Amino acid sequence: MRLTCPACTSVYEVSSALLAGRQAVRCAKCGHRWAPPGSERPAAAPVRERDDPPAPRAPSRDPAPFAPLVAEARRPSIEPRARGGRMALALAWIGSVAVVLLALWAAFAWRAEIMHAWPPSARAYAAFGIDRRGGEQPVVPPHTRGG
């Protein structure tokens, strides 16, 4: 069954089984509530004469009475991207790689200032074999170390 919101004219394709017994539906786009066509109000419940507690009802599997409906007509179409989209994506990747390389170069170029401002970074530089002065630290084999 096709439903149209009277407030915003959004169109929904809904199974009649989902609408059975509903008093009203709510538009997912604007929140307006209206009675779907063919919905009838149930007869009033009979008045109880005794003050017995009501019997517990079994949980129902029906969705909430005002659950938003899914608009079939509003689903995004899956179409191939335009050629300009691929170019923009390639430029974004190139820009990202350039920023990372620039950050790595800056970390190497200003390593002395970084180590002075943040002393624990000296351990990170040492892990890559880079000392404060600029060259690589000499690698000394373990058997030739003094001691």
Cα 143 from Cα 105, distance rounded (Å): 34
Residue 78: per-residue pLDDT:
58
Domain boundaries, the chain: 1-39+61-76, 100-147
Residue 23: per-residue pLDDT:
75
Nearest to 137 by CA among 102, 106, 111: 111
Residue 1: per-residue pLDDT:
76
Which residues make Cβ contacts (< 8 Å) with residue 106, sequence separation at least 6?
Answer: none
Residue 12: per-residue pLDDT:
84
Q: For the segment 63-87, what is each residue's pLDDT rounded down to a tens digit?
A: 555 555 555 555 555 565 556 688 8
pLDDT average per 10 residues of sequence, the chain (147 residues)? 86 80 82 77 58 68 56 54 77 97 95 92 90 62 59
